[in-house]
């Protein structure tokens, strides 16, 4: 029994691995230690399933909201991640940009009286509550990078090689931009190929993915917490109603300790 219980401290440190979707080998050891009893072995399996289910429901929802790209709860645009804090989506970016159709190109402009390509981008995101830098080279470093045009979604930003021009992708092979002096903000067929681009950036989550993914993540987390609490209660662990946050970690450890003690006795 003492040999089995000595693993509890290791289990505490390895629980964090489960939150990232990895299953430490210690769970297999726990199940083996409990193999002397049919009911204990069944409980070990159920515990492992509940524990694995608790690990990562939130991460799955966040990733889904951004099309699998890294996310941050920030409201402002950030380097390397999709900003979810404003609640805006790519559809909002497209809708906001279309309000400026027909506005004349003015170098350095940022208003309905005239704007350039980066001024248009900054203004559209500002109106959605998302802070963006002013010039193309800085805008090209915001958000998460989309690997290719085939994976681009409405609201993503396409940055030309040389970072001298930026356009808003609308989907269906269309882009919206402020072209050059003498032209107005307009929608045209996307003429860029992947080889023409410096980068494609996603600043806010793609169209229509955030609500569904968040709901799915919440549902999965709730189901896992209920399963874990039920299992802990069946093992005689008190406080089974507190399966959440740090309480979830304590409950998992206590339940596994009770399970392992029973198997080693």
Active site residues per annotation: 117, 165, 177
Q: Which residues contact 128 (CB under 8 A, 6 or more apart)?
A: 86, 88, 92, 93, 96, 204
Which conformational region is residue 185 in: left (phi greater than 0), alpha (psi within -120 to 50 degrees), or beta?
beta
Euclidean distance between CA atoms 95 and 177, whole angstroms: 13
Phi, then psi, of 17 in degrees rounded to 5: -65, -35
Euclidean distance between CA atoms 68 and 133, whole angstroms: 24
Contact 136, 159 (CB under 8 A): yes
Of 161, 171, 114, give the one whose Cα is nearest residue 140. Answer: 161
| Chain center to CA of 2 | 42
Contact 240, 229 (CB under 8 A): yes
Contact 188, 175 (CB under 8 A): yes
């Amino acid at each position: 029994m003492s040999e089995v219980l000595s693993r509890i401290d290791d289990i505490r440190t390895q629980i964090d691995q489960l939150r990232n979707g990895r299953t430490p080998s210690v769970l297999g050891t726990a199940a083996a230690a409990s193999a002397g009893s049919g009911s204990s072995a069944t409980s070990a399996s159920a515990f492992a399933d509940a524990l694995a289910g608790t690990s990562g429901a939130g991460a799955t929802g966040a990733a889904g909201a951004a099309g699998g790209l890294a996310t941050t709860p920030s409201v402002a645009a950030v380097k390397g991640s999709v900003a979810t804090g404003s609640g805006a989506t790519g559809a909002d970016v497209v809708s906001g940009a279309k309000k400026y159709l027909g506005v004349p190109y003015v170098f350095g402009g940022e208003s309905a009286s005239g704007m350039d390509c980066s001024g248009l981008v900054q203004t559209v995101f500002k109106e959605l509550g998302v802070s963006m830098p002013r010039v193309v080279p800085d805008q090209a470093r915001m958000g998460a990078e989309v690997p290719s045009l085939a994976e681009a979604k409405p609201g993503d930003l396409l940055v030309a090689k040389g970072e001298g021009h930026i356009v808003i992708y609308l989907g269906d092979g269309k882009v919206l931009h402020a072209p050059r002096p003498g032209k107005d903000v307009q929608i045209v067929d996307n003429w860029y190929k992947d080889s023409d681009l410096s980068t494609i950036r996603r600043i806010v989550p793609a169209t229509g993915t955030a609500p569904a993914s968040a709901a799915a993540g919440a549902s999965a987390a709730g189901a896992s917490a209920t399963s874990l609490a039920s299992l802990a209660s069946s093992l005689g662990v008190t406080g089974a109603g507190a399966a959440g946050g740090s309480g979830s970690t304590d409950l998992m450890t206590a339940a596994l300790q009770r399970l392992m003690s029973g198997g080693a006795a």
